[in-house]
Structure 1
Protein backbone atom coordinates (compact mmCIF):
# COMPACT_ATOMS: atom_id res chain seq x y z
CA UNK A 1 0.00 0.00 0.00
CA UNK A 2 1.51 3.30 -1.06
CA UNK A 3 -0.21 5.85 1.19
CA UNK A 4 0.72 8.55 -1.33
CA UNK A 5 -1.69 11.40 -1.94
CA UNK A 6 -3.20 11.97 -5.37
CA UNK A 7 -5.04 15.13 -6.34
CA UNK A 8 -7.35 14.79 -9.33
CA UNK A 9 -9.51 16.92 -11.56
CA UNK A 10 -12.30 15.11 -13.41
CA UNK A 11 -12.66 12.30 -10.86
CA UNK A 12 -16.45 12.33 -11.12
CA UNK A 13 -16.28 11.84 -14.89
CA UNK A 14 -16.37 8.67 -16.95
CA UNK A 15 -12.62 8.02 -17.15
CA UNK A 16 -11.57 9.90 -14.02
CA UNK A 17 -13.84 7.83 -11.79
CA UNK A 18 -12.15 4.64 -12.98
CA UNK A 19 -8.70 6.19 -12.45
CA UNK A 20 -9.75 7.10 -8.90
CA UNK A 21 -11.09 3.60 -8.23
CA UNK A 22 -7.92 1.92 -9.44
CA UNK A 23 -5.74 4.35 -7.49
CA UNK A 24 -7.64 3.67 -4.27
CA UNK A 25 -7.39 -0.08 -4.89
CA UNK A 26 -3.62 0.37 -5.15
CA UNK A 27 -3.47 2.13 -1.78
CA UNK A 28 -3.37 5.78 -2.81
CA UNK A 29 -5.28 8.48 -0.93
CA UNK A 30 -7.30 10.39 -3.52
CA UNK A 31 -8.56 13.96 -3.17
CA UNK A 32 -10.69 15.16 -6.06
CA UNK A 33 -11.91 18.52 -7.30
CA UNK A 34 -15.71 18.76 -7.14
CA UNK A 35 -18.07 21.52 -8.31
CA UNK A 36 -21.38 20.22 -6.96
CA UNK A 37 -22.96 18.25 -4.15
CA UNK A 38 -23.84 15.55 -6.67
CA UNK A 39 -20.15 15.22 -7.59
CA UNK A 40 -19.26 15.21 -3.89
CA UNK A 41 -21.48 12.19 -3.39
CA UNK A 42 -20.08 10.33 -6.39
CA UNK A 43 -16.51 11.00 -5.29
CA UNK A 44 -17.20 9.83 -1.74
CA UNK A 45 -18.82 6.67 -3.10
CA UNK A 46 -15.57 5.95 -4.93
CA UNK A 47 -13.72 6.17 -1.62
CA UNK A 48 -12.10 9.52 -2.41
CA UNK A 49 -12.32 12.90 -0.67
CA UNK A 50 -14.09 15.74 -2.52
CA UNK A 51 -12.53 19.20 -2.55
CA UNK A 52 -14.92 21.97 -3.53
CA UNK A 53 -13.85 24.02 -6.53
CA UNK A 54 -13.70 24.20 -10.32
CA UNK A 55 -11.08 24.69 -13.00
CA UNK A 56 -11.00 28.41 -12.29
CA UNK A 57 -10.60 27.97 -8.52
CA UNK A 58 -6.90 28.72 -8.79
CA UNK A 59 -6.14 28.96 -5.07
CA UNK A 60 -7.71 25.54 -4.49
CA UNK A 61 -5.81 23.98 -7.40
CA UNK A 62 -2.51 25.41 -6.15
CA UNK A 63 -3.05 24.36 -2.55
CA UNK A 64 -4.18 20.82 -3.36
CA UNK A 65 -1.38 20.27 -5.87
CA UNK A 66 1.21 21.47 -3.37
CA UNK A 67 -0.05 18.88 -0.88
CA UNK A 68 -0.12 16.02 -3.40
CA UNK A 69 2.50 13.50 -4.42
CA UNK A 70 0.83 13.01 -7.84
CA UNK A 71 -1.65 15.10 -9.82
CA UNK A 72 -3.98 13.79 -12.53
CA UNK A 73 -5.71 16.37 -14.71
CA UNK A 74 -8.69 14.87 -16.55
CA UNK A 75 -11.35 17.60 -16.27
CA UNK A 76 -12.48 19.24 -19.50
CA UNK A 77 -14.37 22.53 -19.56
CA UNK A 78 -16.15 21.32 -22.72
CA UNK A 79 -17.85 18.51 -20.79
CA UNK A 80 -21.44 19.60 -20.35
CA UNK A 81 -20.79 22.66 -22.50
CA UNK A 82 -20.51 21.05 -25.94
CA UNK A 83 -21.90 23.47 -28.49
CA UNK A 84 -22.26 26.18 -25.84
CA UNK A 85 -18.64 27.29 -25.54
CA UNK A 86 -16.04 28.22 -28.15
CA UNK A 87 -12.99 25.99 -27.97
CA UNK A 88 -10.69 28.99 -27.51
CA UNK A 89 -12.43 29.47 -24.17
CA UNK A 90 -11.92 25.80 -23.30
CA UNK A 91 -8.19 26.21 -23.96
CA UNK A 92 -8.06 29.42 -21.91
CA UNK A 93 -9.70 27.72 -18.93
CA UNK A 94 -7.45 24.68 -19.21
CA UNK A 95 -4.27 26.77 -19.44
CA UNK A 96 -5.26 28.73 -16.34
CA UNK A 97 -6.00 25.55 -14.39
CA UNK A 98 -2.72 23.90 -15.41
CA UNK A 99 -0.76 27.02 -14.49
CA UNK A 100 -2.33 27.00 -11.02
CA UNK A 101 -1.53 23.31 -10.60
CA UNK A 102 1.98 24.03 -11.82
CA UNK A 103 2.48 26.69 -9.17
CA UNK A 104 1.82 24.04 -6.54
CA UNK A 105 4.23 21.57 -8.10
CA UNK A 106 7.02 23.89 -9.27
CA UNK A 107 10.51 22.58 -8.56
CA UNK A 108 9.31 19.31 -7.00
CA UNK A 109 9.80 16.88 -9.91
CA UNK A 110 6.44 15.37 -8.91
CA UNK A 111 4.29 13.75 -11.62
CA UNK A 112 1.54 15.72 -13.34
CA UNK A 113 -0.32 13.52 -15.84
CA UNK A 114 -2.53 15.49 -18.21
CA UNK A 115 -5.09 14.45 -20.79
CA UNK A 116 -4.96 14.95 -24.55
CA UNK A 117 -6.22 13.05 -27.59
CA UNK A 118 -4.84 11.02 -30.49
CA UNK A 119 -6.86 13.15 -32.91
CA UNK A 120 -4.27 15.94 -32.53
CA UNK A 121 -2.15 13.91 -34.99
CA UNK A 122 -2.80 13.85 -38.73
CA UNK A 123 -3.69 10.55 -40.37
CA UNK A 124 -0.81 8.90 -42.23
CA UNK A 125 -1.15 9.62 -45.97
CA UNK A 126 -0.72 5.91 -46.74
CA UNK A 127 -3.10 4.68 -44.04
CA UNK A 128 -0.29 3.43 -41.80
CA UNK A 129 -0.14 3.72 -38.03
CA UNK A 130 0.82 7.00 -36.41
CA UNK A 131 2.68 7.43 -33.14
CA UNK A 132 3.50 10.10 -30.59
CA UNK A 133 6.12 11.62 -32.89
CA UNK A 134 3.85 11.89 -35.94
CA UNK A 135 2.93 15.23 -37.45
CA UNK A 136 0.25 17.30 -35.79
CA UNK A 137 -2.94 17.72 -37.80
CA UNK A 138 -3.18 20.95 -39.79
CA UNK A 139 -6.99 20.80 -39.58
CA UNK A 140 -7.81 19.38 -36.14
CA UNK A 141 -11.37 18.95 -34.90
CA UNK A 142 -10.43 21.37 -32.11
CA UNK A 143 -7.34 23.05 -30.63
CA UNK A 144 -6.66 20.51 -27.88
CA UNK A 145 -3.01 20.38 -28.92
CA UNK A 146 -2.56 23.89 -27.51
CA UNK A 147 -3.50 22.65 -24.03
CA UNK A 148 -1.18 19.66 -24.36
CA UNK A 149 1.78 21.73 -25.51
CA UNK A 150 1.25 24.31 -22.79
CA UNK A 151 1.12 21.67 -20.05
CA UNK A 152 4.22 19.88 -21.31
CA UNK A 153 6.00 23.22 -21.29
CA UNK A 154 5.81 23.17 -17.49
CA UNK A 155 8.57 20.55 -17.50
CA UNK A 156 10.94 23.53 -17.62
CA UNK A 157 9.70 24.48 -14.14
CA UNK A 158 10.87 21.26 -12.54
CA UNK A 159 7.63 19.30 -12.89
CA UNK A 160 7.43 15.78 -14.32
CA UNK A 161 4.63 16.43 -16.83
CA UNK A 162 3.44 13.63 -19.11
CA UNK A 163 0.43 13.40 -21.43
CA UNK A 164 -2.03 10.60 -22.10
CA UNK A 165 -3.60 10.86 -25.55
CA UNK A 166 -6.98 9.20 -25.44
CA UNK A 167 -8.43 7.74 -28.66
CA UNK A 168 -11.73 8.91 -30.19
CA UNK A 169 -13.52 5.89 -28.71
CA UNK A 170 -13.08 5.09 -25.02
CA UNK A 171 -15.63 2.44 -24.11
CA UNK A 172 -16.78 0.09 -21.40
CA UNK A 173 -19.18 -0.13 -18.44
CA UNK A 174 -21.98 1.01 -20.72
CA UNK A 175 -20.79 4.61 -20.93
CA UNK A 176 -18.84 7.26 -22.84
CA UNK A 177 -19.19 7.99 -26.54
CA UNK A 178 -20.78 4.67 -27.44
CA UNK A 179 -23.65 5.35 -25.04
CA UNK A 180 -24.01 8.94 -26.24
CA UNK A 181 -24.19 7.86 -29.87
CA UNK A 182 -26.65 5.09 -29.07
CA UNK A 183 -28.90 7.70 -27.44
CA UNK A 184 -28.49 10.08 -30.38
CA UNK A 185 -29.27 7.39 -32.94
CA UNK A 186 -32.24 6.17 -30.89
CA UNK A 187 -33.68 9.69 -30.99
CA UNK A 188 -33.10 9.73 -34.76
CA UNK A 189 -34.63 6.24 -35.06
CA UNK A 190 -31.75 5.05 -37.22
CA UNK A 191 -27.97 4.59 -37.23
CA UNK A 192 -25.76 6.00 -39.96
CA UNK A 193 -22.15 5.96 -41.04
CA UNK A 194 -20.48 8.57 -43.25
CA UNK A 195 -19.72 7.83 -46.91
CA UNK A 196 -18.26 4.30 -47.08
CA UNK A 197 -17.52 4.17 -43.36
CA UNK A 198 -14.14 2.67 -44.19
CA UNK A 199 -11.93 4.92 -42.07
CA UNK A 200 -10.25 2.96 -39.23
CA UNK A 201 -10.28 4.50 -35.77
CA UNK A 202 -8.55 3.96 -32.42
CA UNK A 203 -10.20 2.59 -29.30
CA UNK A 204 -9.47 1.64 -25.69
CA UNK A 205 -11.45 0.13 -22.83
CA UNK A 206 -11.83 2.60 -19.96
CA UNK A 207 -10.23 0.20 -17.46
CA UNK A 208 -7.12 -0.02 -19.65
CA UNK A 209 -6.99 3.75 -20.11
CA UNK A 210 -7.15 4.25 -16.35
CA UNK A 211 -4.33 1.76 -15.85
CA UNK A 212 -2.14 3.83 -18.16
CA UNK A 213 -2.58 7.00 -16.08
CA UNK A 214 -1.28 5.20 -13.01
CA UNK A 215 1.63 3.67 -14.91
CA UNK A 216 2.57 7.09 -16.27
CA UNK A 217 2.57 8.54 -12.76
CA UNK A 218 5.02 5.84 -11.68
CA UNK A 219 7.28 5.55 -14.71
CA UNK A 220 6.93 8.41 -17.22
CA UNK A 221 9.78 10.82 -17.82
CA UNK A 222 9.25 14.59 -18.16
CA UNK A 223 7.71 15.39 -21.55
CA UNK A 224 6.59 11.86 -22.32
CA UNK A 225 3.45 11.37 -24.42
CA UNK A 226 1.59 8.07 -24.61
CA UNK A 227 -1.21 6.93 -26.89
CA UNK A 228 -3.79 5.04 -24.81
CA UNK A 229 -4.75 2.80 -27.75
CA UNK A 230 -5.45 -0.91 -27.53
CA UNK A 231 -6.71 -1.35 -31.12
CA UNK A 232 -6.74 0.78 -34.27
CA UNK A 233 -8.33 -1.43 -36.91
CA UNK A 234 -12.07 -1.17 -36.31
CA UNK A 235 -13.86 0.97 -38.89
CA UNK A 236 -16.62 3.54 -38.51
CA UNK A 237 -18.96 1.26 -40.44
CA UNK A 238 -18.23 -1.70 -38.14
CA UNK A 239 -18.94 0.43 -35.08
CA UNK A 240 -22.17 1.73 -36.61
CA UNK A 241 -23.23 -1.80 -37.53
CA UNK A 242 -22.65 -3.02 -33.98
CA UNK A 243 -24.54 -0.09 -32.50
CA UNK A 244 -27.44 -0.65 -34.90
CA UNK A 245 -27.54 -4.33 -33.94
CA UNK A 246 -27.56 -3.60 -30.21
CA UNK A 247 -30.02 -0.72 -30.41
CA UNK A 248 -32.29 -2.62 -32.82
CA UNK A 249 -32.22 0.24 -35.31
CA UNK A 250 -31.90 0.37 -39.12
CA UNK A 251 -28.53 1.27 -40.60
CA UNK A 252 -27.80 3.45 -43.61
CA UNK A 253 -24.91 5.41 -45.18
CA UNK A 254 -25.02 9.19 -45.44
CA UNK A 255 -22.77 11.49 -47.41
CA UNK A 256 -20.67 13.91 -45.38
CA UNK A 257 -22.96 16.78 -46.37
CA UNK A 258 -26.04 14.79 -45.38
CA UNK A 259 -24.49 13.87 -42.04
CA UNK A 260 -23.50 17.49 -41.45
CA UNK A 261 -27.06 18.64 -42.06
CA UNK A 262 -28.31 16.07 -39.54
CA UNK A 263 -25.79 16.35 -36.70
CA UNK A 264 -23.45 19.26 -37.51
CA UNK A 265 -19.97 19.44 -39.02
CA UNK A 266 -18.06 18.52 -35.85
CA UNK A 267 -20.01 15.31 -35.29
CA UNK A 268 -19.90 14.37 -38.97
CA UNK A 269 -16.13 14.87 -38.96
CA UNK A 270 -15.71 12.85 -35.77
CA UNK A 271 -17.65 9.94 -37.27
CA UNK A 272 -15.60 9.92 -40.46
CA UNK A 273 -12.05 10.87 -39.42
CA UNK A 274 -9.25 8.33 -39.80
CA UNK A 275 -7.17 7.70 -36.68
CA UNK A 276 -4.75 4.74 -36.58
CA UNK A 277 -2.73 5.67 -33.48
CA UNK A 278 -0.31 3.09 -32.11
CA UNK A 279 -0.14 2.17 -28.41
CA UNK A 280 3.24 0.48 -28.84
CA UNK A 281 5.20 3.09 -26.86
CA UNK A 282 3.02 2.67 -23.78
CA UNK A 283 3.39 -1.10 -23.94
CA UNK A 284 7.15 -1.07 -24.39
CA UNK A 285 8.05 1.86 -22.13
CA UNK A 286 5.57 1.49 -19.28
CA UNK A 287 4.67 -2.19 -19.50
CA UNK A 288 1.05 -1.36 -20.27
CA UNK A 289 -1.07 -4.45 -20.98
CA UNK A 290 -4.59 -3.70 -22.22
CA UNK A 291 -6.90 -6.54 -21.20
CA UNK A 292 -10.42 -5.19 -21.69
CA UNK A 293 -12.94 -6.82 -24.04
CA UNK A 294 -12.90 -5.67 -27.66
CA UNK A 295 -15.13 -2.75 -28.51
CA UNK A 296 -17.18 -4.84 -30.93
CA UNK A 297 -17.82 -7.56 -28.36
CA UNK A 298 -18.62 -5.03 -25.65
CA UNK A 299 -21.20 -3.29 -27.85
CA UNK A 300 -22.82 -6.49 -29.10
CA UNK A 301 -22.61 -8.75 -26.06
CA UNK A 302 -21.22 -6.76 -23.14
CA UNK A 303 -21.96 -3.60 -21.21
CA UNK A 304 -24.00 -1.95 -23.95
CA UNK A 305 -26.22 -4.92 -24.71
CA UNK A 306 -29.91 -4.66 -23.82
CA UNK A 307 -29.93 -8.26 -22.63
Structure 2
Protein backbone atom coordinates (compact mmCIF):
# COMPACT_ATOMS: atom_id res chain seq x y z
CA UNK A 1 0.00 0.00 0.00
CA UNK A 2 1.24 3.49 -0.85
CA UNK A 3 0.63 5.58 2.29
CA UNK A 4 0.67 9.37 2.58
CA UNK A 5 1.71 10.52 6.08
CA UNK A 6 1.54 13.94 7.65
CA UNK A 7 3.74 14.52 10.69
CA UNK A 8 6.19 11.89 9.47
CA UNK A 9 9.24 13.69 10.88
CA UNK A 10 7.81 13.86 14.41
CA UNK A 11 8.38 11.69 17.46
CA UNK A 12 5.49 9.32 16.68
CA UNK A 13 5.56 9.77 12.91
CA UNK A 14 9.11 8.52 12.47
CA UNK A 15 8.25 5.29 14.26
CA UNK A 16 5.10 4.87 12.15
CA UNK A 17 7.23 5.25 9.02
CA UNK A 18 9.64 2.57 10.30
CA UNK A 19 6.72 0.25 11.06
CA UNK A 20 5.04 0.70 7.67
CA UNK A 21 8.26 0.19 5.74
CA UNK A 22 9.04 -2.96 7.72
CA UNK A 23 5.60 -4.30 6.78
CA UNK A 24 6.25 -3.73 3.07
CA UNK A 25 4.27 -0.53 2.54
CA UNK A 26 5.44 2.48 0.53
CA UNK A 27 5.57 5.85 2.29
CA UNK A 28 5.09 9.37 0.98
CA UNK A 29 5.92 11.87 3.72
CA UNK A 30 4.77 15.47 3.95
CA UNK A 31 7.76 17.66 4.88
CA UNK A 32 7.41 21.35 5.69
CA UNK A 33 11.14 22.20 5.71
CA UNK A 34 14.63 21.04 4.78
CA UNK A 35 15.07 19.82 8.36
CA UNK A 36 11.87 17.75 8.24
CA UNK A 37 12.83 16.34 4.86
CA UNK A 38 16.28 15.34 6.14
CA UNK A 39 14.68 13.54 9.10
CA UNK A 40 12.40 11.38 7.00
CA UNK A 41 15.08 10.70 4.37
CA UNK A 42 17.38 9.55 7.19
CA UNK A 43 14.86 6.85 8.07
CA UNK A 44 15.15 5.25 4.66
CA UNK A 45 16.02 6.18 1.09
CA UNK A 46 12.75 4.49 0.14
CA UNK A 47 10.68 7.30 1.66
CA UNK A 48 9.34 9.71 -0.94
CA UNK A 49 8.95 13.35 0.15
CA UNK A 50 6.17 15.78 -0.72
CA UNK A 51 7.11 19.32 0.30
CA UNK A 52 4.45 21.43 2.00
CA UNK A 53 2.76 22.03 5.33
CA UNK A 54 -0.70 21.62 6.82
CA UNK A 55 -1.86 24.95 5.38
CA UNK A 56 -1.03 23.83 1.81
CA UNK A 57 -4.45 22.41 0.97
CA UNK A 58 -3.61 21.64 -2.67
CA UNK A 59 -0.50 19.70 -1.63
CA UNK A 60 -2.50 17.73 0.91
CA UNK A 61 -5.11 16.87 -1.70
CA UNK A 62 -2.36 15.73 -4.07
CA UNK A 63 -0.75 13.51 -1.44
CA UNK A 64 -4.06 11.95 -0.45
CA UNK A 65 -5.43 11.42 -3.95
CA UNK A 66 -2.23 9.82 -5.28
CA UNK A 67 -1.93 7.34 -2.39
CA UNK A 68 -3.75 4.20 -1.31
CA UNK A 69 -4.31 5.48 2.21
CA UNK A 70 -3.57 8.37 4.56
CA UNK A 71 -2.21 8.57 8.11
CA UNK A 72 -2.82 12.08 9.45
CA UNK A 73 -0.42 12.61 12.37
CA UNK A 74 0.58 16.21 11.75
CA UNK A 75 -0.55 19.01 14.07
CA UNK A 76 0.91 22.49 14.53
CA UNK A 77 2.38 22.51 18.05
CA UNK A 78 1.72 26.07 19.19
CA UNK A 79 -0.26 25.91 22.42
CA UNK A 80 -0.37 29.70 22.75
CA UNK A 81 -2.59 29.63 19.64
CA UNK A 82 -4.22 26.25 20.22
CA UNK A 83 -7.61 27.00 18.66
CA UNK A 84 -5.93 28.49 15.58
CA UNK A 85 -3.91 25.26 15.26
CA UNK A 86 -7.15 23.27 15.59
CA UNK A 87 -8.65 25.26 12.74
CA UNK A 88 -5.63 24.45 10.54
CA UNK A 89 -6.08 20.79 11.41
CA UNK A 90 -9.80 20.95 10.60
CA UNK A 91 -9.23 22.44 7.13
CA UNK A 92 -6.39 19.99 6.38
CA UNK A 93 -8.46 16.99 7.47
CA UNK A 94 -11.53 17.93 5.44
CA UNK A 95 -9.42 18.70 2.35
CA UNK A 96 -7.90 15.20 2.37
CA UNK A 97 -11.17 13.45 3.18
CA UNK A 98 -12.99 15.26 0.38
CA UNK A 99 -10.63 13.91 -2.29
CA UNK A 100 -10.96 10.39 -0.87
CA UNK A 101 -14.76 10.43 -0.98
CA UNK A 102 -16.14 7.35 -2.71
CA UNK A 103 -12.77 5.56 -2.91
CA UNK A 104 -13.08 3.30 0.19
CA UNK A 105 -9.45 4.15 0.93
CA UNK A 106 -8.32 4.21 4.58
CA UNK A 107 -7.83 7.51 6.38
CA UNK A 108 -6.59 7.63 9.99
CA UNK A 109 -7.31 10.74 12.01
CA UNK A 110 -5.25 11.30 15.16
CA UNK A 111 -6.97 12.48 18.31
CA UNK A 112 -6.40 12.12 22.03
CA UNK A 113 -7.94 10.63 25.13
CA UNK A 114 -8.07 14.06 26.79
CA UNK A 115 -11.62 15.43 27.11
CA UNK A 116 -12.97 11.90 27.25
CA UNK A 117 -12.76 12.24 31.01
CA UNK A 118 -14.57 11.41 34.22
CA UNK A 119 -15.17 7.70 33.69
CA UNK A 120 -13.47 4.75 32.05
CA UNK A 121 -13.78 5.63 28.38
CA UNK A 122 -14.21 2.93 25.75
CA UNK A 123 -13.76 3.11 22.00
CA UNK A 124 -17.45 3.52 21.21
CA UNK A 125 -17.76 6.63 23.38
CA UNK A 126 -18.24 9.75 21.32
CA UNK A 127 -17.01 13.28 21.83
CA UNK A 128 -19.12 15.67 23.82
CA UNK A 129 -20.85 17.92 21.26
CA UNK A 130 -20.42 20.80 23.74
CA UNK A 131 -16.63 20.38 23.78
CA UNK A 132 -15.24 23.86 23.05
CA UNK A 133 -12.13 22.71 21.16
CA UNK A 134 -12.40 22.27 17.40
CA UNK A 135 -10.14 19.19 17.70
CA UNK A 136 -12.89 17.01 19.12
CA UNK A 137 -15.42 18.32 16.61
CA UNK A 138 -13.02 17.50 13.76
CA UNK A 139 -12.79 13.88 14.94
CA UNK A 140 -16.58 13.57 14.97
CA UNK A 141 -16.91 15.13 11.53
CA UNK A 142 -14.10 12.97 10.13
CA UNK A 143 -15.67 9.73 11.35
CA UNK A 144 -18.85 10.75 9.55
CA UNK A 145 -17.06 10.23 6.21
CA UNK A 146 -17.69 6.51 6.66
CA UNK A 147 -21.05 7.30 5.06
CA UNK A 148 -19.32 9.05 2.17
CA UNK A 149 -17.19 6.16 0.97
CA UNK A 150 -14.03 6.60 3.05
CA UNK A 151 -12.69 3.91 5.41
CA UNK A 152 -12.07 6.55 8.03
CA UNK A 153 -10.90 5.71 11.55
CA UNK A 154 -9.34 7.57 14.44
CA UNK A 155 -6.52 6.65 16.80
CA UNK A 156 -6.90 8.28 20.19
CA UNK A 157 -3.48 8.73 21.75
CA UNK A 158 -2.76 8.86 25.48
CA UNK A 159 0.56 10.01 26.92
CA UNK A 160 3.16 8.66 24.45
CA UNK A 161 6.68 8.02 25.74
CA UNK A 162 9.99 6.64 24.55
CA UNK A 163 13.42 7.76 23.39
CA UNK A 164 13.15 10.78 21.12
CA UNK A 165 10.21 12.24 23.06
CA UNK A 166 10.22 16.04 23.24
CA UNK A 167 6.71 16.55 24.58
CA UNK A 168 4.83 16.15 27.84
CA UNK A 169 7.23 14.02 29.89
CA UNK A 170 10.42 16.02 29.07
CA UNK A 171 8.52 19.22 29.78
CA UNK A 172 7.48 17.93 33.20
CA UNK A 173 11.08 16.89 33.88
CA UNK A 174 12.22 20.40 32.97
CA UNK A 175 9.64 22.02 35.24
CA UNK A 176 10.65 19.69 38.08
CA UNK A 177 14.33 20.60 37.75
CA UNK A 178 13.48 24.32 37.70
CA UNK A 179 11.11 24.20 40.67
CA UNK A 180 13.22 21.78 42.71
CA UNK A 181 10.36 19.41 43.49
CA UNK A 182 7.94 17.10 41.67
CA UNK A 183 4.32 18.20 41.94
CA UNK A 184 0.86 16.73 41.62
CA UNK A 185 -2.49 18.50 42.03
CA UNK A 186 -4.47 18.14 45.26
CA UNK A 187 -4.73 14.38 46.05
CA UNK A 188 -3.21 13.44 42.67
CA UNK A 189 -5.95 10.87 42.14
CA UNK A 190 -6.72 11.83 38.54
CA UNK A 191 -5.79 9.04 36.14
CA UNK A 192 -4.36 8.82 32.66
CA UNK A 193 -3.22 6.08 30.26
CA UNK A 194 0.13 5.78 28.48
CA UNK A 195 1.77 3.94 25.59
CA UNK A 196 5.31 3.36 24.34
CA UNK A 197 5.89 4.99 20.95
CA UNK A 198 6.75 1.67 19.29
CA UNK A 199 3.45 0.14 20.41
CA UNK A 200 1.60 3.20 19.12
CA UNK A 201 3.29 2.77 15.73
CA UNK A 202 2.21 -0.87 15.53
CA UNK A 203 -1.37 0.18 16.25
CA UNK A 204 -1.34 2.71 13.41
CA UNK A 205 -0.27 -0.03 11.01
CA UNK A 206 -2.96 -2.41 12.25
CA UNK A 207 -5.64 0.26 11.97
CA UNK A 208 -4.47 1.14 8.46
CA UNK A 209 -4.59 -2.50 7.38
CA UNK A 210 -7.64 -3.74 9.26
CA UNK A 211 -9.50 -0.86 10.91
CA UNK A 212 -13.24 -0.65 10.36
CA UNK A 213 -14.83 2.50 8.93
CA UNK A 214 -16.21 4.82 11.58
CA UNK A 215 -14.38 3.13 14.45
CA UNK A 216 -12.18 4.78 17.08
CA UNK A 217 -9.21 2.88 18.49
CA UNK A 218 -7.45 3.51 21.79
CA UNK A 219 -3.66 3.34 22.07
CA UNK A 220 -3.87 2.81 25.83
CA UNK A 221 -1.25 0.16 26.49
CA UNK A 222 -0.55 0.53 30.20
CA UNK A 223 -2.60 0.32 33.36
CA UNK A 224 -4.34 3.38 34.69
CA UNK A 225 -1.69 5.67 36.20
CA UNK A 226 -2.39 8.31 38.83
CA UNK A 227 -0.86 11.76 38.72
CA UNK A 228 0.60 11.18 42.17
CA UNK A 229 2.32 7.96 41.05
CA UNK A 230 3.68 9.82 38.01
CA UNK A 231 5.02 12.67 40.16
CA UNK A 232 6.59 10.24 42.63
CA UNK A 233 8.35 8.38 39.82
CA UNK A 234 9.84 11.62 38.46
CA UNK A 235 10.83 12.73 41.95
CA UNK A 236 12.63 9.44 42.50
CA UNK A 237 14.33 9.63 39.11
CA UNK A 238 15.63 13.16 39.78
CA UNK A 239 16.10 12.64 43.54
CA UNK A 240 13.93 15.62 44.49
CA UNK A 241 11.00 15.98 46.93
CA UNK A 242 7.42 15.25 45.86
CA UNK A 243 4.70 17.68 46.92
CA UNK A 244 1.01 18.31 46.40
CA UNK A 245 -0.02 21.74 45.14
CA UNK A 246 -3.43 23.36 45.36
CA UNK A 247 -5.59 24.14 42.35
CA UNK A 248 -4.86 27.87 42.53
CA UNK A 249 -1.12 27.22 42.03
CA UNK A 250 -1.42 24.87 39.05
CA UNK A 251 -0.89 27.34 36.20
CA UNK A 252 1.92 29.09 38.04
CA UNK A 253 3.74 25.80 38.50
CA UNK A 254 3.04 23.92 35.27
CA UNK A 255 2.35 26.78 32.85
CA UNK A 256 0.16 25.76 29.90
CA UNK A 257 0.61 22.10 30.88
CA UNK A 258 -1.58 22.82 33.88
CA UNK A 259 -4.56 22.74 31.50
CA UNK A 260 -3.90 19.08 30.75
CA UNK A 261 -2.24 17.72 33.87
CA UNK A 262 -5.38 17.72 35.99
CA UNK A 263 -7.67 15.85 33.59
CA UNK A 264 -9.09 12.56 34.77
CA UNK A 265 -9.07 10.24 31.76
CA UNK A 266 -9.12 6.52 32.63
CA UNK A 267 -9.22 4.77 29.26
CA UNK A 268 -9.82 1.21 28.12
CA UNK A 269 -8.32 -0.38 25.00
CA UNK A 270 -10.07 -3.74 25.36
CA UNK A 271 -12.03 -3.40 22.10
CA UNK A 272 -8.92 -2.27 20.22
CA UNK A 273 -6.87 -5.22 21.46
CA UNK A 274 -9.58 -7.77 20.66
CA UNK A 275 -10.55 -6.42 17.25
CA UNK A 276 -7.04 -5.82 15.90
CA UNK A 277 -5.06 -8.33 17.98
CA UNK A 278 -2.94 -5.46 19.25
CA UNK A 279 -0.51 -6.76 21.86
CA UNK A 280 1.68 -3.93 23.22
CA UNK A 281 5.12 -5.07 24.36
CA UNK A 282 7.08 -1.85 24.99
CA UNK A 283 8.56 -0.77 28.29
CA UNK A 284 6.26 1.08 30.65
CA UNK A 285 6.27 4.79 31.36
CA UNK A 286 7.69 4.19 34.83
CA UNK A 287 10.55 2.16 33.35
CA UNK A 288 11.22 4.91 30.81
CA UNK A 289 11.20 7.64 33.46
CA UNK A 290 14.21 5.97 35.08
CA UNK A 291 16.35 6.05 31.91
CA UNK A 292 19.14 8.55 31.27
CA UNK A 293 17.24 9.81 28.22
CA UNK A 294 14.46 11.28 30.35
CA UNK A 295 16.72 12.35 33.24
CA UNK A 296 18.72 14.45 30.77
CA UNK A 297 15.87 15.35 28.41
CA UNK A 298 14.91 18.83 27.27
CA UNK A 299 12.02 19.89 25.07
CA UNK A 300 11.87 22.11 21.99
CA UNK A 301 8.32 23.29 22.81
TM beyond 0.5: yes
Provide structure 2 residue ranges, at least 5 long, that are not aligned to the other structure. 297-301
Aligned to 1:72: 71
Aligned to 1:55: 54
Deviation of 1:19 after TM superposition, in Å, equals 0.5
Moved more, 180-189 or 19-28: 180-189
- 1:257-272 correspondence to structure 2 within 5 Å: 257-264=248-255, 266-272=256-262
Aligned to 1:107: 102
Q: Quick one: structure 1 residues 190 and 143, their matched pair in 2 at CA, closer, same or farther if it must change by over 3 Å?
A: farther
- What is the number of equivalent residue pairs in this alignment? 293
Aligned to 2:202: 211
CA contact (8 A) 1:191 1:243 kept: yes
List per-residue Cα deviations over 1:259-299 (Å, max 9, x = no partner): 223334x5224222211110111101111111111111121
Deviation of 1:120 after TM superposition, in Å, equals 3.0
Higher RCO (CA < 8 A, seq sep 6+)? 2
Aligned to 1:298: 288
- 1:158-169 correspondence to structure 2 within 5 Å: 158-167=149-158, 169=159
List per-residue Cα deviations over 1:106-157 (Å, max 9, x = no partner): 2110100110111231312xxxx22123364588584421110121122232
In structure 2, how many angstroms separate the alpha carbons of the residues matched to 1:229 and 1:135? Answer: 17
Moved more, 176-185 or 47-56: 176-185
CA contact (8 A) 1:62 1:104 kept: yes
From 171, 179, 191, give the equivalent of 2:170.
179
The RMSD of aligned alpha carbons is 1.9
Deviation of 1:234 after TM superposition, in Å, equals 1.4
In structure 1, how many angstroms separate the alpha carbons of the residues matched to 2:186 and 2:129? Answer: 22
Kindly report structure 1 stretches of 4+ aligned residues shifted beyond 6 Å: none
Q: Does 1:279 align with 2:274?
A: no
From 124, 137, 141, give the equivalent of 1:146.
137
In structure 2, how many angstroms separate the alpha carbons of the residues matched to 1:134 and 1:36? Answer: 37
Deviation of 1:174 after TM superposition, in Å, equals 4.9
Q: Quick one: structure 1 residues 261 and 137, their matched pair in 2 at CA, closer, same or farther if it must change by over 3 Å?
A: farther
